[in-house]
Amino acid sequence: WAKADGKGRWTLFDPERNAHRVTRQALSSTLRPALDRGEFALEYQPIVGLDDETLHGAEALVRWRHPRFGTLGPDRFIGLAEENGAIVPLGRWVLEASCRQARRWLDDRPHNPVYVSVNVAVRQVWDSDLVADVERILDDTGLPPGLLQLELTESAVMGSAGRPLQALQALSEMGVRIAIDDFGTGYSNLAYLSRLPVRALKLDGTFVRGFRTARHENPADETIVAALVQLAHELGLTVTAECVEGREQAERLRGIGCDTGQGYYYARPMPAPSLTAWLSRAST
Ligand code: C2E
Ligand code: MG
Ligand code: MG
Ligand code: MG
């Protein structure tokens, strides 16, 4: 009966769940002061050419170096920041720090420019003057607009009329590249996306995950990815595969004609100095 008793108690009061709620609350209310205290940091993950494994770009991924809870990944706090609006100043900080870093890479390696790819939340497009922020940041950092890619999710651009569409158009006219992140997890269609100023697709990791099984065991994912890549190319979009974890996945993606890949097979997200070392290695 111990089990039943335990079960009953847990439905009445779940200490773990309660702790979770307290943590969420604590995190949510301290996002802004934490930003002022400089507790956020960026890691960068290489985006690599599938054909020759050269470095094309790097995605900036935010972390919270929390004084009590240790390093927290974005899945722990980005949602909270979107709910309470802290995503606007946080996103602005991410953009600024990423562009500054990309400018340093360019200064170090003027003949091997790599772009920085920055995640942008829906609310940054709706609730803030993203275009003015980007303009100012590019101006301040001196980063050429062509070395900035903004990653938006399908839901951020779907049905985008009015403000978001104007923002995308203005950014694109500036020379900033717009990419659709986690492509394939939403309901957008390529025909629609191709009419927006979108230049690149980042294929969601779930597609590539199906490649992990032995050859021919799960050909459906490979067929779908091949068709998506072909269509994307015909519509003038480049394609990056996310979550490339193994050599066989990388080879099959290359065979399919996918342009770039990102994932643990190439490198994990790393602090800027490590990527700088990677950069020198990659270009010598
Ligand atoms: P995302 O933009 O799709 O970023 C890729 C995520 O996949 C990263 O997780 C990365 O560490 C992880 N990843 C990379 N390669 C592999 C792999 O081979 N296998 C597996 N299993 N995972 C891989 P991370 O850093 O935890 O970020 C999670 C999400 O948080 C991001 O997904 C993005 O949506 C969001 N995010 C991160 N930084 C920011 C930011 O500055 N602003 C906003 N708005 N969202 C951000
Ligand atoms: Mg992303
Ligand atoms: Mg992604
Ligand atoms: Mg993803």
pLDDT of 100 higher than 90: yes
Q: What average pLDDT does range 246-267 have in this prediction?
A: 95
Query: How far, in Å, from the CA of 152 to the mean position of ligand 3?
Result: 9
**Average pLDDT in the 265-273 region?**
96
Structure confidence at residue 278 (pLDDT)? 84
Q: Considering only 6-20, 154-168, 269-283, which range has the smallest mean pLDDT?
A: 6-20
16 φ, ψ (degrees, to nearest 5): -65, -45
Evaluate whether 232 touches 190 at the Cβ level (below 8 Å): yes
First to last CA, the chain: 67
Question: Which residue is it, tokens 């490198």?
Answer: 267
Ligand number, closest to the Cα atom of 78: 1
Confidence at residue 232, expressed as pLDDT on a 0 to 100 scale: 93
Q: Is residue 85's pLDDT more than 90?
A: yes
When pLDDT is averaged across residues 217-237 and rounded to a whole number, the result is 87
Task: Indicate the range of 55-59, 69-73, 107-111, 186-190 predicted with least confidence.
Answer: 186-190
CA nearest ligand 1 atom 33, residue:
119
- Helix 87-108 and helix 272-282: axis angle, to 10°? 30
Determine whether 276 is exposed, middle or buried from the number of CB atoms within 10 Å of its CB (0-12, 13-18, 19+).
Answer: middle
CA–CA dist 171, 175 (Å, integer): 7
Q: Output the residue whose Cα is nearest ligand 1's atom 5.
A: 242
pTM, two decimals, is 0.92
Instruction: Give residue 2's pLDDT band: very low, low, confident or very high (50, 70, 90).
Output: very low
Q: How far is the CA of 208 from the centre of ligand 1 (A)?
A: 15
Residue 8 alpha carbon to ligand 3 centre in Å: 40
Please give the number of the atom of ligand 1 that sits closest to the Cα of 202.
3
At 127 the pLDDT is 78
> What ipTM does this complex have?
0.97
Nearest ligand by distance to the CA of 45: 1
Q: What is the mean pLDDT of the chain?
A: 89
Q: Please identify which residue in the block is written with the tokens 């309901």.
A: 187
Q: Does the structure show a pLDDT above 80 at 86?
A: yes
Q: Whose CA is nearest to atom 45 of ligand 1?
A: 119
Per the listing, tokens 């996306």 go with 193
Mutating to test ligand 1, I would choose from 83, 99, 119 the residue with most ligand atoms within 8 A of its C-beta, which is 119
Q: Give the pLDDT mean for 69-98.
A: 96
pLDDT at residue 8, rounded to an integer:
47
Asked whether the predicted pLDDT for residue 6 surpasses 80, the reply is no
The mean pLDDT of 202-209, rounded to a whole number, is 90
Nearest CA to ligand 1 atom 7: 243
Spatial CA neighbour of 117 closest among 134, 89, 85, 95: 95
For ligand 1, whether the C-beta of 78 sits within 6 Å is: yes
In tens, the pLDDT along 147-169 reads 999 999 988 887 667 778 889 99
- Closest residue by Cα to residue 267 from 15, 34, 58, 38: 58
| CA 181 to centroid of ligand 4, rounded, Å | 7
Look at the block and give the residue holding tokens 């170096």.
Answer: 65
**Which residue lies with its CA nearest to atom 34 of ligand 1?**
119
Mean per-residue pLDDT, 171-181: 97
Residue 210 near ligand 1, beta carbon < 6 Å: no
Q: What pLDDT does 1 receive?
A: 36
- Residue 276 has which token pair? 């700088």
pLDDT of amino acid 114: 96
- Phi, psi for residue 271 in degrees, rounded to 5: -65, 155
> Would you state the pLDDT for residue 179?
97
- 163-187 per-residue burial string, b: 16 or more CB within 10 A, e: under 16: ebeebbebbbeeebbbbbbbbbebe
Output the residue whose Cα is nearest ligand 1's atom 35: 74
Nearest to 225 by CA among 201, 199, 194: 201
CA distance 76 to 225: 30
% of residues, the chain, pLDDT over 90: 69
Closest C-alpha to 64, from 32, 92, 95, 96: 32
Q: Which of 64-73, 208-217, 243-252 has the lowest mean pLDDT?
A: 208-217
Q: Is the pLDDT of residue 132 over 60?
A: yes
Distance 220 CA to ligand 2 centre (A): 25
Q: Is 124 in the pocket of ligand 1 (CB under 6 A)?
A: no
Q: Which tokens in the block code for residue 17?
A: 């769940």
Given a cut of 70, whether residue 129 has pLDDT beyond it is yes
Is 245 close to ligand 1, i.e. is its CB under 6 Å away?
A: yes
* 98 C-beta closer than 6 A to ligand 1: no
